[in-house]
A and B are shown apart, each in its own frame.
Chain A
């Protein structure tokens, strides 16, 4: 798996008159790790859902390595090379850990034995191999998050969308995940776009950050630039009281 370039061009999405996302454009170069941040309700997950095909954008388009993917069904978007996790994890509860990831692996490896073997490998990389026969619903939250990532990786994506994968993890667990993602990116060149609130992870991972608020992009730049950007500070910390 090597990474794909992601381009968002003037993306807009409304829900029954409520404008969730408006004229958002940015690019994630192949092999980069970028972050999408912003206050709650800013439209970040909506943007992910547009990229992943859950929503068809009302305006604009999404391109993966130059190929338009907006409006494709989610399974076709996965086929094009996009893997995603959900903000609230969605494991296949009645299946075992191994079977969960196998479902992902089956996408590129139709033979069940082959898919299982590959899934097993991925579990090994994420430290879940010893729990592979446990029921997914019996896992702790951090493990479920890892399972979610493993399952997405099993589809051999070229772009990985991670939606608040650090939420609820303890600092040591966050560090483990950060190291894993850095390693993964270094080894395979997988492009990663993260939605994240945990700044420690954002600063450690992302080479480029896009900030959205109320559905619009308000800033983008390196972590250093963003940390000093006035509009970003206003949005996160609130504007100063009038004197």
Chain B
């Protein structure tokens, strides 16, 4: 039975007649009881939207803990994944006819005022993914002790790897995994920075993988 917590006009929890009251992240909800009366056929546009939503939701699921860091500034009344979907939804898809795929280079895992590094490069060297960036701070918007969050995604095997140990001043990071030796390799790498107090983050930079034979170390 529903309990009215703050007087007659206040929010309540539990079932009261045909509605259910609940609360999540300090937001009070009143929901109708589940009903299954809608027997209309779903329009193609609606199906497409559902597919897009499911695709993005599935993609972000394994990295939800990173999204909590990347979108921390906006997670007062939503989860990091909620905010990431909202932020990316408008530009995250490539639609060809009825086929929907993700536009990986434009995806953002973070949003904030910290400045990205620039000069980012990524290449696979044996069983290691190596990434380098410009370690300088240029006087503002960056600190040498910012943590670099590196995200790797194997599109064929649908697997993520991540690393958040390196600092900005180190100018590079690597992830070791036997998966990098497998071929074919269709990979995507993203990088963003978090300041020491974990309050500020940078925008995410997509780093295209370069051929290891062309990389000059």
A and B interact physically: no
A residues lining the B interface (CB < 8 Å): none
